[in-house]
Amino acid sequence: MTSMGSRKRIWIARDYLKCSGCRKCEIACSLYHEKRIWPEASRVRVFMLVPGAEVPHLCVQCEDYPCVKSCTTGALSVNSRTGAVLVDEEKCIACGACIDACPGRVPHLHPIKKTVLICDLCSGKPECVKVCQEGNWDALQKITRSSWQIYKVHARKPEEITRELVSNLYGEAGEEFV
Amino acid sequence: MRGYAGKFLDIDLTNEKMTEIRFDESTLRSYIGGRGLAARILWDRLGERWENVDPFAPENVLTILTGPLTGFFPGGRVCVSGKSPQSNGMVGSTVGGEFGIDLRCAGYDGIIITGRASRPSCIAIYENQVSIKVASHIWGKTGKHTLKILTEEGRRDLKANFPEYGELKEPSALYIGPAGENQTRVAAVMAKWTHGAGYGGYGGVMGSKNLKAVLAKGLGPLPEVKDIERLSELIKKADKECYKSHSFRRWGTGGGGYQFAAKTSSEPVRNWQDEWHDERSYAVDKFEQRLWVKRYWADYGCPTSCLKIAAPKTGEFKGAITDNPDYELQAFLGPNLGIFKPEDDVYLASLIDDLGLCGIQSGNALGFIGELYQRKILNQEDLDGIQLEWGNTKAFAEIAKKIAKREGIGNILAEGSYRASLELEKRKGMSLDNYAIHEKGMAIGAHGIRSGRDFTSDISYACNVQAGDHTSLASTPKEDENPELDDVLNDSGVYCNFNTFSVGTDLIWEFFEAVTGWETLRQEWYKTNGLRILQLQRAMLLLGGPDLKWKANTDDKNPKRFYDPLPSGPYKGRAVKKPSFEESKQEYYEAVGWDKNGLPKIETLGALGLHDVEVKLRKAQII
């Protein structure tokens, strides 16, 4: 990793309260990576555990990359330019160690290929962000990564995020339905 | 075949038998999916004995179908159908959400359900693992609690069935509330707390089958299409058009609560006694600024997000949660009941969602009973002690609960306003025909026809094979446009018609071509295929039964009240005029191949290859 590269690194900021649940990010992601519309093969997936509390769930690129550390076959690496976690499909044995290591349980297996799926930031031009911006949703935004942010705190399970969103949206009334 | 998963699930609940079936290419090409294919399936399975089939009997066939454009054209929906307990014909009734997408990703284009489960049940479709599960512990639960349990248990099942995948997204669900369980005729098939397939009354049909819910979760992709590059471009193009629509995106149909009354004078006010009000208190900004906690809410692939979520955080209705409410529920649970307060409307809509009632059908029944009380035809005693003045939100809420439970006066209203009027006529010994505002046993949408300023016309409902459905109206085709068959197309391709407003017909046909590769589909549709679906629906509507039957022409009429002049507002005095209505009706009959009496002509049926329909209609002495 060069210091030059680090400064230019991007990050996908997420604002769940602005997510409409249109799932265009899933559509764009799977079209780009799979040439199909394929919700469960998308690297970003919108969970809806409670209606109205839609959670676009994708890799946050933790500073300490617990997923990469957990990989026993050397299938995961960090792209020095973007900071994205890259998956070497040849080396991945779909053991699930990275899923368990991720504090947000973000990685998931490809439904058919025996390999794990992690957001690769589309080499620095994320398709999910483009499509979200086209609609002026701003739920996903491309920003410059800053040293003042602890990215790891964003890696949380969908149910944790849902619980908080529901309290925010519906107050006590909603908490009954989480 | 492109655009289809290829398989359909045929489930017999009585014998717990599940089979995978397929339709050949020519059937799918002719009927497309959703409403069109449902018409074919229902005719094939029930046509011969249609008039004797009780919609709530195990033999009724409940279809839950997608179409080739589900998940591809913006705005995912699924189409529910069967013999309707409202019109006694068949209605294609669509509901928004991700269910259709999940079903297709699991490898199925649809589900055909017959029989009756021996105990409360739920169908779970996880990829190719299909099972019927006990749902006794959810039976009786209201909507939000039902969905909570379904989601929780569904995720647990997914984790057990597919442990290696990590976190899978939740399964999608269609379910019913108490109103469906108790087989009311005004119950919807619900999704996502606030969405309902309301027209037709299929919530009650699900209830009659002891079927509380259907869950679907697919891991696969949407079906392969003819040209994915072109489809991607088309999606971008359609999105771009929809994004231009500022007010629709911002307010959804929520602008209607004030607009359709103040501007077009076509909103039901106190059971359609009027269609005009100028209550600024009911304008959309009051909902938006006071109540919306989510201002842009969308179903799968939707650029418009006409949905918003309302949740009062203060006051006596704190704790209610619903969408906008959309215009229909703003109208039917608002001015239609003499209610002009946004908070009250949100509360009632939230309650109706939870009970699994259709807001239009039950709102219409509430308006009907409200007017009978106003006119002192019924008194407090008749209403189980409830004082039902217009605008009394809590009183109307009590009646709604009784409808869902089929309790007391609610048991009568659970039949919908028309059937309720027949029952009350017997008891009161007087005609109540004027107060039941319906079309062939169904409440009509909140778009009146008297002012002539809304998108509806005098034949919209009267000649409609879907009876009161305002999302698919009868209209006489013009040289180069056929709005009615375009509506049938939306329900058969199964996607959201609200996104078609911005997109337009040409682009929709491009979607069909890119997905299916069938190049002449458009020509076939307007010449024969679309028309054939219409004839099948007309035949089933005219066969009707067993409790009510409709006579062609005689019953192709508007609610009596619509011939009376509007009492106030900018269009005061306007009414449907019988002579011009009769003229429009004859024009329509002619255009769709029916004779002067509204009966499908022999040559029309012959040209469409519907000889069996002719034979059946003859046997039933309809033609």
Among residues B550, B574, B590, which one ends one of the domains? Answer: B550
User: Which pLDDT belongs to residue A1?
Assistant: 41
Rg, C-alpha atoms of chain B: 23
Q: Are residues B295 and B207 in the same domain?
A: no
Q: Are residues B212 and B269 in the same domain?
A: no
Q: Return d(Cα B379, Cα B376) in angstroms, integer.
A: 6
Q: Is residue A2 pLDDT above 70, yes or no? A: no
Tens digit of pLDDT for each residue in B250-269?
999 999 999 999 999 999 99
Question: Are B243 and A135 inside 8 Å of each other by CB?
Answer: yes
Task: Please choose, from the candidates B215, B211, B129, B124, the residue with its C-alpha nearest in 3D space to the C-alpha of residue B172.
Answer: B215
User: Which pLDDT belongs to residue A123?
Assistant: 95
User: Which pLDDT belongs to residue A4?
Assistant: 47
For chain B, give the mean pLDDT: 98
Q: Return d(Cα A121, Cα B554) in angstroms, integer.
A: 65
Length of chain A: 178
Say whether residue A46 is in contact with chain B using an 8 A CB cutoff.
yes
Q: Are residues B202 and B330 in the same domain?
A: no
- Assess contact for B496 and B71: CB atoms under 8 A: no
Q: In terms of DSSP H, where are the helices of B244-358?
A: 246-251, 256-262, 284-291, 327-332, 342-355
**Chain B residues closer than 8 Å to A47 by CB:** 167, 169-170
Q: Return d(Cα A134, Cα B377) in angstroms, integer.
A: 57
Q: Are residues B480 and B534 in the same domain?
A: yes
User: Which pLDDT belongs to residue B246?
Assistant: 93
Q: Are residues B276 and B163 in the same domain?
A: no
Number of domains chain B is built from: 2
Task: Please choose, from the candidates B187, B163, B164, B162, the residue with its C-alpha nearest in 3D space to the C-alpha of residue B177.
Answer: B187
Residue with token string 């068959």: B485
Task: Please choose, from the candidates B95, B74, B80, B84, the residue with its C-alpha nearest in 3D space to the C-alpha of residue B53.
Answer: B84
Q: Are residues B286 and B198 in the same domain?
A: no
Q: Ramachandran region of residue B576, left (φ > 0), alpha (ψ -120 to 50) or beta? A: beta
Q: Are residues B358 and B235 in the same domain?
A: no
Cα-flanking dihedrals φ and ψ of residue B567, to 5°? -80, -20
Residue B455 lies in a domain: no
CB-nearest to A39 from B101, B232, B294 is: B101
Say whether residue A20 is in contact with chain B using an 8 A CB cutoff.
yes
CATH number, domain of B534, equals 3.60.9.10
Q: How far apart, in Å, are the Cα atoms of B154 and each of A165, B45, B161, B386?
A: 21, 32, 10, 41
Q: Are residues B38 and B181 in the same domain?
A: yes
Q: Are residues B210 and B280 in the same domain?
A: no
Min Cα distance A80 → chain B (Å) is 27
Q: Return d(Cα B539, Cα B620) in angstroms, integer.
A: 11
Q: Which residues fall within 8 angstroms of residue A52, CB to CB, at 6 or more apart?
A: A21, A166, A169, A170, B193, B293, B294, B297, B309, B321
Residue B436 lies in a domain: no
ipTM confidence score: 0.96
- Assess contact for A11 and A129: CB atoms under 8 A: no
Q: Are residues B250 and B234 in the same domain?
A: no
Q: Does domain A3-175 have CATH number 3.30.70.20?
A: yes
Record the tokens describing residue B48, joined without a space.
Answer: 């011969």
Min Cα distance B69 → chain A (Å) is 12
**Chain B residues closer than 8 Å to A57 by CB:** 167
Question: Are B221 and A34 inside 8 Å of each other by CB?
Answer: yes
Residue B623 lies in a domain: no
Task: Please choose, from the candidates B311, B422, B321, B406, the residue with its C-alpha nearest in 3D space to the C-alpha of residue B362.
Answer: B406
Q: Return d(Cα A135, Cα B369) in angstroms, integer.
A: 45
Domain carrying residue B316: 245-428
Q: Is residue A3 pLDDT above 70, yes or no? A: no
Q: Which residues fall within 8 angstroms of residue B31, CB to CB, at 6 or more apart?
A: B37, B39, B40, B492, B529, B533
User: Which pLDDT belongs to residue B447?
Assistant: 98
**Confidence tier at A6 by pLDDT (50, 70, 90):** very low
Min Cα distance B89 → chain A (Å) is 33
Q: Which residues fall within 8 angstroms of residue A65, CB to CB, at 6 or more apart?
A: A76, A78, A85
Q: Return d(Cα B358, Cα B223) in angstroms, integer.
A: 32
Residue B333 lies in a domain: yes
Residue B194 lies in a domain: yes
Say whether residue A43 is in contact with chain B using an 8 A CB cutoff.
no
Residue B149 lies in a domain: yes
Q: Is residue A5 pLDDT above 50, yes or no? A: no
Mean pLDDT value of segment A62-66: 97
Across chain B, how many H-helices and E-strands are there? 24, 15
Tens digit of pLDDT for each residue in B132-191?
999 999 999 999 999 999 999 999 999 999 999 999 999 999 999 999 999 999 999 999
Q: Return d(Cα B267, Cα B470) in angstroms, integer.
A: 13
Q: Are residues B359 and B402 in the same domain?
A: yes
- Assess contact for B129 and B161: CB atoms under 8 A: yes
Task: Please choose, from the candidates B19, B16, B18, B21, the residue with its C-alpha nearest in 3D space to the C-alpha of residue B6.
Answer: B21
Min Cα distance B150 → chain A (Å) is 10
User: Which pLDDT belongs to residue A7?
Assistant: 55
**Chain A residues closer than 8 Å to B72 by CB:** 37
Q: Ramachandran region of residue B305, left (φ > 0), alpha (ψ -120 to 50) or beta? A: left
Record the tokens describing residue B541, joined without a space.
Answer: 């509507």
Mean pLDDT value of segment B2-18: 98
Min Cα distance B170 → chain A (Å) is 7
Residue B512 lies in a domain: yes
Among residues B428, B461, B496, which one ends one of the domains? Answer: B428
Q: Which of A17, A23, A35 to mutate to test the interface with B (most CBs of B within 10 A)?
A: A23
Residue with token string 């999704």: B191
Least CA distance to A112: which residue of chain B? B220
Q: Which helix (H) or strand (E) holds B543?
A: helix B530-543
Determine how many CB atoms are found less than 10 A away from the CB of residue A129: 24
Q: Ramachandran region of residue B621, left (φ > 0), alpha (ψ -120 to 50) or beta? A: left
**Chain A residues closer than 8 Å to B221 by CB:** 30, 34, 36-38, 41
**Chain A residues closer than 8 Å to B101 by CB:** 39
**Confidence tier at B244 by pLDDT (50, 70, 90):** very high
Q: Are residues B151 and B200 in the same domain?
A: yes
Q: Which residues fall within 8 angstroms of residue B316, CB to CB, at 6 or more apart?
A: B343
Q: Is residue B484 pLDDT above 60, yes or no? A: yes
Q: Return d(Cα B598, Cα B586) in angstroms, integer.
A: 8
Task: Please choose, from the candidates B208, B201, B133, the residue with its C-alpha nearest in 3D space to the C-alpha of residue B173.
Answer: B133
Q: Which helix (H) or strand (E) holds B605?
A: helix B602-607
User: Which pLDDT belongs to residue A8?
Assistant: 78
Tens digit of pLDDT for each residue in B327-374?
999 999 999 999 999 999 999 999 999 999 999 999 999 999 999 999
Q: Which residues fall within 8 angstroms of residue B412, CB to CB, at 6 or more apart?
A: B420, B423, B424
Question: Residues of chain A with pLDDT > 90: what percent?
Answer: 90
Domain layout of chain A by residue ranges: 3-175
CATH number, domain of B379, equals 1.10.569.10
Record the tokens describing residue A154, joined without a space.
Answer: 């964003």
Tens digit of pLDDT for each residue in B523-582?
999 999 999 999 999 999 999 999 999 999 999 999 999 999 999 999 999 999 999 999
**Confidence tier at B479 by pLDDT (50, 70, 90):** confident
DSSP assignments along B477-511, one per residue: -BTTB-HHHHHHHHHHHTB-GGGHHHH-HHHHHHH
Mean pLDDT value of segment B36-61: 98
Q: Which residues fall within 8 angstroms of residue B307, CB to CB, at 6 or more apart?
A: B194, B252, B296, B297, B298, B299, B323, B324, B326
